[in-house]
């Protein structure tokens, strides 16, 4: 039963799980569910190697990391990404950053090549997001950068992006300058 409890709590994430909902999921009474959760809580507390604990708030249960591992988690999340961004992804990201919100077709027009693969990569890395739909035929998806984009490049706001030259059209973004300006901010 502890494996199922752990799996449900892990999947619930920061939302946690209400005791009554938990009992319904497992098909047992709330009293039996409370006993199972207490047993799991105790097992984690007694396991010196466990990195997790169960927190109860009212009748909601959460699976959390133990506070003593905060430094290691901070280092993990502050570290560089597993892989750098490809040139295509940087190009798409630069175009979105300067022209957001923008559709994929508009990005393709600026680049002169199809950009859906780079968009998928950027979305999976949570650097860009869907920002609504354009009021045009087919209602294409609009893309914009995310707060993680700012964190990734060490920017406070989009105003901190390297400025484009006044004479330079938005469709002529110098991607080398964009990457170079941000290179000092990343560990790529």
**pLDDT per residue as tens digits for the range 72-117:** 888 777 755 556 788 999 999 999 999 999 999 999 999 999 999 9
Q: Which residue has the tokens 């280092």?
A: 75
Domain ranges within the chain, ordered by starting residue: 2-68, 87-183
Task: Give 57's strand partners.
Answer: 60
In the chain, pLDDT over 70 holds for what percent of residues?
A: 85
Structural tokens at position 43: 């097992």
Euclidean distance between CA atoms 74 and 70, whole angstroms: 6
CATH of domain 2-68: 1.10.10.10
Q: Taking the model in full, what pTM does it have?
A: 0.48
Euclidean distance between CA atoms 95 and 84, whole angstroms: 18
**Do 2-68 and 87-183 show the same overall fold?**
yes
Secondary element (H or E) of residue 133? strand 128-133
pLDDT at residue 188 in the model: 38
Phi/psi of residue 167, each to 5°? -80, -10
Q: What is the mean pLDDT of residues 42-55?
A: 92
Structural tokens at position 168: 């330079």
CATH of domain 87-183: 1.10.10.10
| pLDDT above 70 for 32 | yes
């Amino acid at each position: 039963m502890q494996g199922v409890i752990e799996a449900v709590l892990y999947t619930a994430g920061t939302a946690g799980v209400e005791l009554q909902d938990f009992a319904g999921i497992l098909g047992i009474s709330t009293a039996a569910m409370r006993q199972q959760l207490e047993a799991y809580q105790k097992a984690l507390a007694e396991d010196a190697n466990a990195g997790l604990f169960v927190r109860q708030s009212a009748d909601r249960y959460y699976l959390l990391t133990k506070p003593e591992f905060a430094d290691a988690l901070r280092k993990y999340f502050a570290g560089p990404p597993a892989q750098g961004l490809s040139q295509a992804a940087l190009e798409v990201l630069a175009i979105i950053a300067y022209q957001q919100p923008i559709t994929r077709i508009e990005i393709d027009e600026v680049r002169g090549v199809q950009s859906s693969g780079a968009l998928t990569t950027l979305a999976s890395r949570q650097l860009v997001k869907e920002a609504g739909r354009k009021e045009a035929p087919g209602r294409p998806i609009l893309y914009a950068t995310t707060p993680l984009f700012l964190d990734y490049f060490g920017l406070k706001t989009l105003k901190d992006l390297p400025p484009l030259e006044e004479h330079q059209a938005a469709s002529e973004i110098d991607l080398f300058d964009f990457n170079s300006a941000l290179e000092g901010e990343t560990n790529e």
